[in-house]
Amino acid sequence: MNIVELERATLRMGGRTVLSEVSFAIRAGEFIGVLGPNGAGKTTLMRAILGLLPPSAGTLRVFDRAPQRGDRRIGYLPQVRTMLPDLRVRGLDFIGSSLNGERWGLPSLAASDRRMIEATLDAVGARDLANRPLSDMSGGERQRLLIAQSLIGSPKLLLLDEPLISLDARHQEVAIDVVRKVCREHKITVLFSAHELNQLLGTLDRVLYLGNGQAVLGTVEQVIRAPVLSRLYGTDIQVVRADGHIFVMSRGRDVEVSDHQHDHDHDHGGHEHHH
Amino acid sequence: MTTIMAATSIITDMFAYEFMNNAFAAAGIVAVVSGIVGYFLVMRGQTFAGHALSHIGFAGATGAGLIGLAPLWGLLGFTLAAGIVMGALSERISNRDIAIGIVLSLALGFGLLFLHYYTSFATQATALLFGNVLAVDRPMIATLAVLAAITLLALGLIMRPLIFASLQPELAEAKGVPLRLVSTAFLAIVALAVSECAQIVGVLLVFTLMVGPPAAAQRVTTGLWSGLLLSALLALGEAWLGITLAYHTDWPVSFCIAVLSALGYFAALSLPALRARRSQADMLGSRND
């Protein structure tokens, strides 16, 4: 069964065509690495799957129907941009706010909700975050809290938008491991967007590479090739394989690294604690 | 024994005057509302928007004086309209410091213009700017109580999606929270609270009850309900203690509340440092044992 299916779908954001007549299908239980340069449409695609952005042409089907806003089968970790830096809210209440957060009235946290949150925090090895305020958490801890939150409610499809940003290398590996373990165990389909391919190499089933308004879905061997990527980047790309790593280069520069550098300029993430 | 009696007589003496009873009742109602609404203002990082609303309210209050209405209704009308416009214009504008700064000084300017044309109203300018809780009468208390009930009821209605939208707007949007509706409704609620608060401490000092107590509460506790409760209690304590202090010193009430609010906040800021020092002292103590 296909969980996400696009047929000649066009996605437009603010008058700009981000993806133009793209077609691909993601099968149940697949771990898909979503890659591509900044502005290639990774976030836009996720927003469309969430039902926040209907395609301007073509069809997009999620769970075999048009995407619906607020679908409880979808877990979502947005790209963190707006998290207030001195938020004095403890982890439990932070996650709790998202449970039925769309309903009117007073907030409440039932004992069963609390147990569910704590069990999920346990699953990602972050039980201690329940009682600590967000302002005291490092970037890595916040991200783990958000990963836990996206897993609550047993989703069938997980959309993780740049979950590795603002994490150091060690925490990145931990985050990938946690997601892989939980998702394999519960057969969750994952769209995991990232800047760097190499860390995901051992984990992903297929790669969805976006760029130049186009999308290519396939195995690493099928997609990470000079002709395919040159088309997506709109420039000459070389693919260098060395020592189990793959480097995507443009005129001698690693395009992923330079993209990543750019992100660090905008990084407001917290300081890192080392335990 | 005598000191206890002296202390109680200091308190009971105050309540021999009706204006003091009125002041305590009005300040009590307003402080609780301010502490609770302010908690969300601080959580959302929109304190400056709250400040702007009160300045816009000043223009409304003086304008109301020009056409012969009670200042409260001008204050209420202007802040409500401004709150709804700010919310409707989008989240981005209500958080933008420069736009807000320009609008609030424009509003103060208009307030001055209205005062200029209604000179006999000028004596009330100080009361509007800095509050005059000692002049509150019974009908005003009833009005404040009704407004407070409406404010808290409306807040209770939107509290759940408000918290979700404040903490995680992207996710809230994906889960179906109408972000703009929630933020507009919240700014309207803030407008109500600001109008009430301005009756006690004046438009220039609404921060003393709407930002000081909740900011202090959020430093001390990280739970939602404990934070709300502490914020309301702090606002209440600071307002009542401020009036008591003013009664005995003859200093302006708003000054006393402002000082207590600042003291409360700075005390809360230094709490973690104190705790750390205490645990360090404990460790040293146990080492010496």
**Residues B234-257: pLDDT tens digits?**
999 999 999 999 999 999 999 999
Residue B143 inside a domain? The answer is: yes
What does the pLDDT read at residue B188?
Answer: 95
What does the pLDDT read at residue B274?
Answer: 61
| Chain B residue numbers touching A106 (CB-CB < 8 A) | 156, 159-160
Could you say which of A50, A84, A101 has the minimum Cβ distance to residue B161? Answer: A101
Confidence of residue B5 (pLDDT cuts 50, 70, 90): confident
Confidence of residue B203 (pLDDT cuts 50, 70, 90): confident
Confidence of residue B276 (pLDDT cuts 50, 70, 90): low
Size of interface A-B (CB pairs under 8 A): 91
Q: Looking at the complex, does the CB of residue B95 fall below 8 Å from at least one CB of chain A?
A: no
What does the pLDDT read at residue A259?
Answer: 56
Number of domains observed in the structure of chain B: 1
The pLDDT of B111-119, averaged and rounded, is 83
Q: Looking at the complex, does the CB of residue B272 fall below 8 Å from at least one CB of chain A?
A: no
Confidence of residue A168 (pLDDT cuts 50, 70, 90): confident
| Chain A residue numbers touching B165 (CB-CB < 8 A) | 101
Residue B201 confidence (pLDDT) above 80: yes
- Residue percentage of chain B with pLDDT more than 90: 52
Chain B interface test: which of A77, A97, A128 (most B C-beta within 10 Å)? A97
| Chain B residue numbers touching A94 (CB-CB < 8 A) | 167-168
Residue B12 inside a domain? The answer is: no
Residue B107 confidence (pLDDT) above 90: no
Residue A275 confidence (pLDDT) above 50: no
Residue A262 confidence (pLDDT) above 60: no
Arithmetic mean of pLDDT over chain B:
87
CA gap A210, A232 in Å, rounded: 7
Is B199:B30 a contact under the CB 8 Å cutoff?
Answer: yes
Residue A265 confidence (pLDDT) above 90: no
What does the pLDDT read at residue B67?
Answer: 87
Arithmetic mean of pLDDT over chain A:
86
Q: Going from the N-terminus, what domains does chain A have, and what CATH number goes with each?
A: 2-83+91-101+108-265 (3.40.50.300)
Q: Are A100 and B160 an interchain contact pair (Cβ–Cβ within 8 Å)?
A: yes
Residue A84 confidence (pLDDT) above 70: no
What does the pLDDT read at residue A188?
Answer: 94
Range(s) of the domain holding residue B279 = 18-288
What does the pLDDT read at residue B208?
Answer: 93
| Chain B residue numbers touching A74 (CB-CB < 8 A) | 174
Q: Are B173 and A52 an interchain contact pair (Cβ–Cβ within 8 Å)?
A: yes
Residue B6 inside a domain? The answer is: no
- For position B138, which CATH number holds? 1.10.3470.10
- Residue percentage of chain B with pLDDT more than 70: 89
pTM of the model: 0.86
What does the pLDDT read at residue A171?
Answer: 83
The pLDDT of A109-113, averaged and rounded, is 88
Residue B174 inside a domain? The answer is: yes
Residue B8 inside a domain? The answer is: no
Residue A82 confidence (pLDDT) above 90: no
Task: Give me the DSSP letters along chain B.
Answer: -HHHHHHHHHHHHHTTSHHHHHHHHHHHHHHHHHHHHHHHHHHTT-HHHHHHHHHHHHHHHHHHHHTT--HHHHHHHHHHHHHHHHHHT-HHHHT-HHHHHHHHHHHHHHHHHHHHH-GGGGHHHHHHHH--GGG--HHHHHHHHHHHHHHHHHHHHHHHHHHHHHH-HHHHHHTT--HHHHHHHHHHHHHHHHHHHHHHH-GGGTHHHHTHHHHHHHHH--SHHHHHHHHHHHHHHHHHHHHHHHHHH---HHHHHHHHHHHHHHHHHHHHHHHHHHHHHHHHHHHH-
What does the pLDDT read at residue A252?
Answer: 76
What does the pLDDT read at residue B90?
Answer: 62
Q: Are A82 and B170 an interchain contact pair (Cβ–Cβ within 8 Å)?
A: yes
Residue B144 inside a domain? The answer is: yes
Which value does ipTM take for this structure? 0.85
Residue B88 inside a domain? The answer is: yes
* Chain B residue whose CA is closest to A47: B174
Q: Looking at the complex, does the CB of residue B275 fall below 8 Å from at least one CB of chain A?
A: no
Chain A interface test: which of B160, B177, B180, B265 (most A C-beta within 10 Å)? B160
Q: Are A89 and B43 an interchain contact pair (Cβ–Cβ within 8 Å)?
A: yes
The β-bridge partners of A158 are A75, A190
**Residues B145-185: pLDDT tens digits?**
999 999 999 999 999 999 999 988 889 999 999 999 999 99
What does the pLDDT read at residue A143?
Answer: 85
Confidence of residue B114 (pLDDT cuts 50, 70, 90): confident
Q: Looking at the complex, does the CB of residue B269 fall below 8 Å from at least one CB of chain A?
A: no
What does the pLDDT read at residue A48?
Answer: 96
What does the pLDDT read at residue A272?
Answer: 38
| Chain A residue numbers touching B185 (CB-CB < 8 A) | none
- Residue percentage of chain A with pLDDT more than 70: 91
CA gap B231, B119 in Å, rounded: 39
Residue B9 inside a domain? The answer is: no
Of the listed ranges B46-55, B84-93, B97-106, the one predicted with least confidence: B84-93
**Residues A99-108: pLDDT tens digits?**
888 899 998 8
